[in-house]
Amino acid sequence: MSENTTYADLAEAIRAHDSFILLSHIRPDGDAIGSQLALGHSLEEMGKTVYYINEDGLPDNLAFLPGSEKIQTPPAEALNVQVCIALDCATKPRLGDGALQAASQAKLWINIDHHISNPAYGDLNHIDATSPATGQILYQLITSQNMPLPEASRDSIYVAVSTDTGSFQYSNTTAATYEMAAELVRQGLDVGTINAKVYDSNPFRKIELLRSLLNTLQLEDDGQVAHWELPYSVKEQYNLKPEDSEDQIDLIRGIEGVIAAAFFEELEDGKIRVSLRAKDNSFNACETAQLFGGGGHARAAGIRMPGPIDDARTQVLAAISKALS
């Protein structure tokens, strides 16, 4: 069904089953992993059996989260579970082939997300595009339905929401977001320690990446569009990991006069991963991404498209220019 399932109905479905597989999107970020851990720890406190699966596994930069070692890559065989819960994933294929195979025996699919482009691919769906992060949706689910909120869930929710709001800076941050954060602090959240681990623990290779990206930086459309690119050869040179490039685009989005930013990244298979960011409502990143089969949010969206990188750049920049005009 396409209509949103209420928190009460989600909780009823959760309480009625015993075994769960939790999935999040490929190239997971803080909201994806934080959401898996937040909900998973709550379910375990309820006595449920929980498997935490991600196609690409746990990023190194999130390994400090309590219980993060439970995030595993998909096993060879399908898991014997009753329910699959997809978290923070706009489309089912973005969960990955291995993860989908691992969840193939689940009889019930629950889809919880905040991407406006999500087509509601679950049996039960709760899609809230007004929420800044899936982690905030889970906080509301857990607290409104009197589900357990152990310390591990508390910390994971904070990381999920903090990373998807640019540390509570982006316009998607709501009053409810700040109220949630305040309540988490009242419950013992150590903000200083967690923020230091999230934002102040960058490996040196990430700084080398930034130096390389700056050498490719260009402005278009009278300074309204900024873009840079990452060839696969550079990723090999610095032994980069997927998470190293996740937040770099925000640096060029912040250039004065820039309305739209684009990051073109060459993948191992030759495809191009495009990240789009919008500074204000004069450019809708999601609408442009959808032209190429991508999606996301109005201010942040992504695409995977055929290479080479020069062709992808030409096509996407032309679409951005047209959107701005």
Domain containing 283 — which CATH number? 3.10.310.30
pLDDT digits (tens, 9 = 90+) for 50-85: 999 999 999 999 999 999 999 999 999 999 999 999
- pTM here is 0.87
Residues 166 and 211 in one domain: no
236, 244 Cβ separation under 8 angstroms = no
Residues 69 and 153 in one domain: yes
Q: How many domains does the chain have?
A: 2
Residues 263 and 174 in one domain: no
Looking at residue 170, its pLDDT comes to 86
Residues 149 and 287 in one domain: no
41, 68 Cβ separation under 8 angstroms = no
pLDDT digits (tens, 9 = 90+) for 226-265: 999 999 999 999 999 988 998 899 999 999 999 999 999 9
Domain containing 195 — which CATH number? 3.90.1640.10
Residues 156 and 246 in one domain: no
Structure tokens at 81: 């579970």
Residues 47 and 103 in one domain: yes
Q: Which domain holds residue 195?
A: 7-199
pLDDT (average), residues 285-304: 93
Residues 257 and 176 in one domain: no
Where in the chain does DSSP place strands (E)? 19-24, 49-54, 71-72, 83-87, 108-113, 124-127, 218-220, 225-230, 260-266, 272-278, 295-296, 300-305
Residues 167 and 42 in one domain: yes
283, 245 Cβ separation under 8 angstroms = no
Residues 195 and 219 in one domain: no
Of 168, 183, 199, which marks where a domain is finished? 199
